């Protein structure tokens, strides 16, 4: 039976203080377990095409003190001219973070069960609002060795504020105008990038000149992120402010995270991605695979 708590988990407990350092990319299950009562935890599980999935699995069991955060309702605006997952209105997302009890000095921890595909979008959006202390549970829910709960907490209102952004973005018009001078990284599978298949969007292919770096290849066999030196090897050739994109700006954030784990500079995100790009039939498209293995 689900129970409801009306108290907010404490940020400090006598004799137990969280580590002073902020986690800005990843933290392990052991680190989360050691400081779980001090962190603001968001369950970001989702399933493309099924907006009810995340809440259903959250209700059936989640990490203690975690609150549910929706990809479609919280970390995206209504689909339309900006693609399938446009960025949310900053002030609306700020208010949701406050409703989740989050303050400016809180450490936020995010997880999903899809290798970070959806949690990385939340990570990027929170950094977009200027909050640095946000990280993914490395390995996600499958890496969590402890029992789940159905208890849902009711946190006190937080005081989260919008601060100078830690991210970079580009819009479709600017990208198209300067396309020949930009390096692009496509996070979709090679089959979708090459135009061999397209299960979601009505047009197949990729933005001309984009190289394929599927986000799934940022992960080791156990679902945790690969070591920093391996991720650096994947992305270090992109030295001129690369632009990350995918189908709708969700899994592209996974590549942004991987590059930050690798110690590389913040890349630019094209939020609308392929789903917005193809809305204008005059924008160029490609299925050229000659640059498939370029590094």
Our measurement of the distance from residue 73's CA atom to the centroid of its chain's CA atoms, rounded to an integer in Å, reads 14
Please determine, for residue 2, whether its predicted confidence score (pLDDT) is greater than 70: no
pLDDT tens for each residue of 186-225? 999 999 999 999 999 999 999 999 999 999 999 999 999 9
Residues 6+ apart with CB under 8 A from 148: 61, 62, 63, 64
Q: Note whether 144 and 137 are within 8 A (CB).
A: yes
pLDDT tens per residue, range 232-264: 999 999 977 899 999 999 999 999 999 999 999
Q: Could you tell me how far CA 152 lies from the centroid of its own chain?
A: 23
Alpha-carbon 288 to chain mean position: 28
pLDDT at 37: 78
- DSSP state, 243? E
Same fold for the pair 4-153 and 168-277? yes
3-class secondary structure, 245: strand
Question: Is residue 289 predicted with pLDDT exceeding 90?
Answer: no
Q: What is the per-residue pLDDT across 68-121, written as a single tens digit (0 to 9) for each?
A: 999 999 999 999 999 999 999 999 999 999 999 999 999 999 999 999 999 999
Contact 72/55 with Cβ under 8 angstroms?
A: no
Active site residue 246: yes
Evaluate the CA torsion angle 180, 203, 75, 119 in order and state its sign.
negative
Predicted pLDDT at 72: 97
CA–CA separation, 53 vs 84, rounded Å?
Answer: 17
13 vs 179, which has greater pLDDT? 179
> Nearest 5 degrees, angle CA 231-CA 252-CA 250?
135
**Alpha helices, H only, the chain:** 29-35, 53-60, 90-99, 119-128, 172-177, 190-193, 228-235, 252-261, 273-277
At the topology level of CATH, where does 168-277 sit?
Answer: Oxidized Rhodanese; domain 1 (3.40.250)
Torsion, Cα of 244, 246, 249, 251 (10° steps) = -90
Catalytic residue among 44, 125, 212, 246: 246
Q: What angle do CA 224, 230, 236 make, to 5 degrees?
A: 125
pLDDT of residue 290: 78
Nearest alpha carbon to residue 142 among 249, 220, 73, 53: 220
Q: Are 63 and 247 in contact (CB under 8 A)?
A: no
Domain topology for 4-153: Oxidized Rhodanese; domain 1 (3.40.250)
pLDDT at 186: 98
> For 130-174, how does the pLDDT look when each residue is reduced to its tens digit (9 = 90+)?
999 999 999 999 999 999 999 999 999 999 999 999 999 999 999
Summarised one tens digit per residue, pLDDT across range 12-31 is: 333 334 444 689 999 999 99
Contact 109, 41 (CB under 8 A): yes
Q: Where are the domains of the chain?
A: 4-153, 168-277
- Please state the pTM of the whole predicted model: 0.91
Kindly indicate the confidence band of residue 38, based on its pLDDT and cuts at 50, 70 and 90.
confident
């Amino acid at each position: 039976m689900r129970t409801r708590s009306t108290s907010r988990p404490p940020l400090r407990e006598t004799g137990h203080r969280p580590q002073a350092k902020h986690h800005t990319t990843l933290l392990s299950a052991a680190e989360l377990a050691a400081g779980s009562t001090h962190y603001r935890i968001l369950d970001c599980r989702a399933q493309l095409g099924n907006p009810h999935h995340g809440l259903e699995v959250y209700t059936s069991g989640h990490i203690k003190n975690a609150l549910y955060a929706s990809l479609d309702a919280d970390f995206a605006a209504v689909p339309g001219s900006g693609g399938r997952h446009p960025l949310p209105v900053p002030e609306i997302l700020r208010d949701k973070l406050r409703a989740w009890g989050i303050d400016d000095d809180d450490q936020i921890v995010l997880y999903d069960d899809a290798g970070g595909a959806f949690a990385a979008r939340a990570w990027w959006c929170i950094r977009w609002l200027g909050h640095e202390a946000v990280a993914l549970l490395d390995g996600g829910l499958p890496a969590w060795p402890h029992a789940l709960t159905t208890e849902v907490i009711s946190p006190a209102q937080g005081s989260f504020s919008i601060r100078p952004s830690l991210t970079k973005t580009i819009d479709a018009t600017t990208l198209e105008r300067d396309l020949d001078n930009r390096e692009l990284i496509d996070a979709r599978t090679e089959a979708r990038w090459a135009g061999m298949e397209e299960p979601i969007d009505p047009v197949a292919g990729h933005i001309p000149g984009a190289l394929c770096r599927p986000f799934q290849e940022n992960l080791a066999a156990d679902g945790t992120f690969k070591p920093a030196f391996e991720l650096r090897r994947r992305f270090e050739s992109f030295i001129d402010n690369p632009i990350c994109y995918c189908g709708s700006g969700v899994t592209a954030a996974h590549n942004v995270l991987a590059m930050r784990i690798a110690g590389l500079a913040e890349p630019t995100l094209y939020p609308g991605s392929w789903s917005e790009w193809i809305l204008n039939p005059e924008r160029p498209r490609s299925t050229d695979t000659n640059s498939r293995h370029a590094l």
